[in-house]
């Protein structure tokens, strides 16, 4: 499983006989050709079959035009204008209609639909990358109308995340064709960018409701590091030194978030963009600013593309469905429509590189001979501990710093399954069903209330992170719905009960993780913040509580998995998920859920819980593992635990000792 060069099963006669770059061209052609039949008569709107986004079908039609057009632009620019299918002629007709205020198939303006902003950025990139063959041949009246439509972004504000780059890109194109633009917009966006930069090439994609900047996900790559390059290309300049350095730093870490067989990390929002995860790697190759050897970016990209194509990302109609592998609409966010998936176009940015570029022509580098069987490293900016095992190709991320888009203070809110689970991987996903969101289990440490309902994690407070130990804490709460009979006001549908502060620690030894937890009373600040004050509307839960540690949700198909006991589940390919209580968690169980897993028909999750309530400062612990026996998992590899002053001392069977800081909170 460690070989990055795997064989595509989604191929036709052309793709089977072309070169590496040739098959990427063939794939781009097929994706564009399959989408264009869904265009409106003028070609200005492409509405693909499937659900509408929150912005509506009209906006979705613009989105389809822009995102499919982005792929067409990369394809034509990389072929130096060759366009045998006449795609750009169709786009010229679509531009003429979409920018005509009197046309029945016109585009929504930026004032009418906020979603027009990112789509306008794609239109600007399309026009810039294909300028000699599209823009320069447009009728002057169409050029004027296009400038006027794009200019709707000039002077606007309120962009607080990666959207600042949409405005930058649009105004750069306007500047390049003599249209209006404002330096004030760019200066403000630069200030926002710098305020969100967290080091090591990582940007927080906006801030949480309390101002915390812990929104880390794939947007750090496919937006924050891609648009600066596209912006520079529009202006005909090189990528500036600041962005070059940050891109290289980011790629040095991001390469460890891709499994050995090409599977990207399943974490964060907009995952239906799939192989858009490749965009920052291609950006590094295009800018000449990558830590990867020549040919390594192509090798990684080939493997990732194959990973998705082999698993049904493209449906029988030749379209990218909503989902991760196959179609799975549980992956949607409110802004996701049937055309949204074509932001995956950015994963084919490598087509901008000519066929004789070393990235295409160089042989893929051989894997290093002295690869460690299991590699562990901390990523300080997102607060992650990354565990990578070569034998099974799985990457695991223990999350002690990214809590993403949390619900507003004062409102009823559940864990965000894309951000607030304790662990993510390239092999597993959180349960995305309604039950899975309301009752978090997998990769989660919960306090169970008197009725057995699990607590939810709120803002993550970082405590400690090194290359073996990570510690974080969060105030927990319980979500109440009319079904539980505990809502304060049934007309409000859901309510919250506030709980104590729970600290969770991860101690890593190979593929084994010792997961520890304890609770203490939440502090009551003398001068509460706005968040604390808003949350004060909710009642406190007085307990008693017991702990439950949930393991990895292993994706399973019916009849293709087994459980030797309730502490472990094994799939027919040998991958297993296991939880073994070490302290205070003597009962084990296995939960099989169906319908909420984007990888498979269902998932199986082992867990461990205690038989009696736990008091403040009382420690519980379990060994949690995901992997295969070949990766070094040993069910008997259980450490000893002892209290040592302000730390918990962990003694592993091979003699290694790790200390976990407790700040005096653990008493038993």
Q: Roughly what angle, to the nearest 10 degrees, separates helices 164-176 and 183-196? A: 150
Residue 397 in 3-state DSSP?
strand
Cβ neighbours of 642 (radius 10 Å): 9
Domains identified in the chain and CATH numbers: 13-361 (1.50.10.10), 383-631 (2.70.98)
* pLDDT value for 572: 93
- Cβ–Cβ under 8 Å, residues 486 and 495: yes
Measured CA to CA, the distance from residue 284 to residue 647 in angstroms comes to 42
Stretch (H or E) spanning 396: strand 395-399
Measured CA to CA, the distance from residue 251 to residue 240 in angstroms comes to 17
Rounded to the nearest 10°, the torsion over CA 337, 342, 347, 349 is: -140
Stretch (H or E) spanning 478: strand 469-480
pLDDT by residue (tens digit) across 189-224? Answer: 999 999 999 999 999 999 988 889 999 999 999 999
Q: Which residues of the chain have pLDDT under 50?
A: 1-18
- Cβ–Cβ under 8 Å, residues 301 and 274: no
Measured CA to CA, the distance from residue 569 to residue 607 in angstroms comes to 11
Q: What is the largest CA-CA distance in the chain?
A: 78
First to last CA, the chain: 43
Measured CA to CA, the distance from residue 323 to residue 312 in angstroms comes to 9
Stretch (H or E) spanning 445: strand 444-448
* pLDDT value for 634: 86
* pLDDT value for 240: 97
Measured CA to CA, the distance from residue 415 to residue 477 in angstroms comes to 10
Phi, psi of 514 (to 5 degrees): -90, 115
Measured CA to CA, the distance from residue 387 to residue 509 in angstroms comes to 9
* pLDDT value for 532: 63
Measured CA to CA, the distance from residue 167 to residue 161 in angstroms comes to 11
- Closest C-alpha to 426, from 218, 579, 621: 218
Residue 502 in 3-state DSSP?
strand
* pLDDT value for 354: 95
Strand partners, 506: 470, 515
Per DSSP, 637 falls in state: -
Residue 609 in 3-state DSSP?
strand
* pLDDT value for 528: 62
Q: Write out the DSSP string of 326-386.
A: SB-GGG--TT--TTGGGGGGGGGGGGGS-TTSHHHHSPPPPPPTT--SEEEEEETTTTEEE
Phi, psi of 444 (to 5 degrees): -145, 140
pLDDT by residue (tens digit) across 455-470? Answer: 999 999 999 999 999 9
* pLDDT value for 270: 97
Q: Write out the DSSP string of 200-211.
A: TTEE-SS--TTS
Measured CA to CA, the distance from residue 407 to residue 436 in angstroms comes to 17
In degrees, to the nearest 5, what angle opens at C-alpha 361 toward C-alphas 359 and 364?
70
* pLDDT value for 12: 43
Encoded tokens for 469: 């130990």
Measured CA to CA, the distance from residue 594 to residue 556 in angstroms comes to 9
Measured CA to CA, the distance from residue 243 to residue 225 in angstroms comes to 7
* pLDDT value for 192: 98
- Cβ–Cβ under 8 Å, residues 37 and 30: no
Model pTM score: 0.95
Encoded tokens for 56: 């509506």
Residue 566: is the preceding peptide bond cis (ω within 30°)? no
- Cβ–Cβ under 8 Å, residues 533 and 562: no
Measured CA to CA, the distance from residue 248 to residue 449 in angstroms comes to 47
Cβ neighbours of 640 (radius 10 Å): 12
């Amino acid at each position: 499983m460690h070989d990055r060069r795997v064989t595509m099963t989604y191929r036709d006669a052309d793709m089977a006989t072309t070169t590496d770059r040739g098959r990427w061209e063939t794939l781009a052609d097929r994706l564009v050709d399959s989408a264009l039949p869904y265009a409106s008569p003028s070609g200005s709107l492409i509405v693909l079959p499937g659900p509408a986004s929150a912005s509506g079908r009209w906006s979705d039609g613009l989105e389809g035009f822009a995102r499919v057009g982005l792929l067409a632009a990369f394809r034509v620019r990389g072929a130096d204008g060759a366009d045998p299918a006449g795609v750009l002629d169709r786009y010229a007709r679509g531009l003429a209609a979409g920018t005509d205020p009197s046309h029945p198939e016109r585009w929504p303006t930026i004032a009418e639909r906020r979603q027009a902003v990112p789509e306008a950025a794609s239109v600007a990139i399309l026009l810039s990358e294909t300028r000699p063959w599209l823009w320069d041949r447009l009728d002057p009246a169409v050029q004027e109308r296009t400038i006027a439509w794009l200019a709707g972004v000039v002077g606007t504000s309120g962009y607080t995340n990666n959207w600042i780059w949409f405005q930058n890109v649009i105004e750069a194109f306007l500047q390049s064709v003599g249209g209006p633009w404002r330096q004030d917009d760019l200066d403000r966006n630069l200030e926002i960018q710098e305020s969100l930069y967290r080091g090591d090439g990582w940007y927080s994609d906006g801030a949480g409701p309390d101002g915390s900047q812990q929104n880390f996900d794939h947007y750090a790559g496919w937006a924050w590091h891609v648009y600066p390059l596209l912006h520079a290309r529009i202006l005909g300049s090189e990528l500036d030194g600041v962005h070059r350095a940050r891109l290289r730093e980011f790629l040095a870490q991001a390469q460890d978030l891709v499994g050995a067989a090409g599977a990207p990390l399943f974490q964060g929002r907009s995952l239906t963009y799939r192989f858009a995860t490749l965009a920052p790697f291609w950006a590094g190759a295009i800018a000449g600013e990558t830590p990867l050897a020549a040919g390594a970016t192509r090798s990684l990209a080939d493997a990732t593309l194959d990973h998705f194509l082999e698993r049904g990302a493209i449906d029988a109609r030749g379209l990218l469905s909503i989902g991760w592998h196959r179609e799975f609409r549980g992956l949607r966010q409110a802004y996701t429509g049937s055309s949204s998936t074509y932001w995956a176009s950015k994963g084919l940015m490598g087509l901008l590189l000519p066929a004789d570029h070393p990235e295409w022509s160089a042989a893929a580098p051989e894997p290093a001979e002295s690869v460690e069987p299991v590699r562990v490293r901390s990523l300080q900016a997102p607060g992650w501990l990354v565990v990578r095992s070569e034998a099974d190709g799985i990457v695991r991320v223990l999350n002690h710093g990214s809590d993403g888009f949390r619900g507003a203070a004062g409102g009823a809110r559940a864990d965000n399954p894309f951000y607030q689970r304790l662990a993510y991987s390239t092999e597993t996903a959180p349960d995305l069903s309604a039950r899975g969101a309301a009752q978090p289990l997998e990769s989660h440490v919960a306090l169970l209330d008197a009725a057995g309902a699990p607590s939810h994690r709120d803002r993550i407070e970082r405590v400690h992170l090194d290359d073996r130990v990570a510690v974080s804490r969060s105030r927990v709460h319980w979500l109440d719905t009319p079904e539980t009979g505990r809502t304060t006001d049934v007309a409000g549908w859901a309510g919250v009960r506030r709980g104590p502060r729970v600290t969770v620690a991860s101690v890593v030894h190979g593929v084994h993780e010792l997961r520890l937890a304890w609770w203490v009373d939440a502090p009551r600040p003398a001068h509460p913040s706005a968040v604390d004050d808003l949350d004060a509307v909710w009642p406190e839960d007085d307990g008693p509580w017991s702990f439950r540690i949930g393991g990895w949700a292993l994706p399973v198909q019916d009849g293709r998995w087994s459980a030797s006991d309730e502490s472990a589940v094994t799939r027919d390919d040998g991958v297993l998920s296991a939880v073994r209580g070490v302290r205070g968690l003597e009962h084990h169980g296995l939960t099989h859920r169906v319908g909420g897993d984007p990888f498979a028909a269902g998932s199986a999750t082992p867990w461990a819980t205690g038989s009696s309530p736990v008091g403040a400062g009382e420690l519980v612990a379990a060994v949690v593992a995901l992997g295969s026996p070949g990766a070094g998992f040993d069910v008997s590899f259980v450490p000893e635990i002892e209290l040592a002053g302000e730390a918990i001392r962990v003694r592993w069977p091979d003699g290694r000792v790790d200390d976990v800081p407790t700040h005096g909170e653990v008493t038993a």
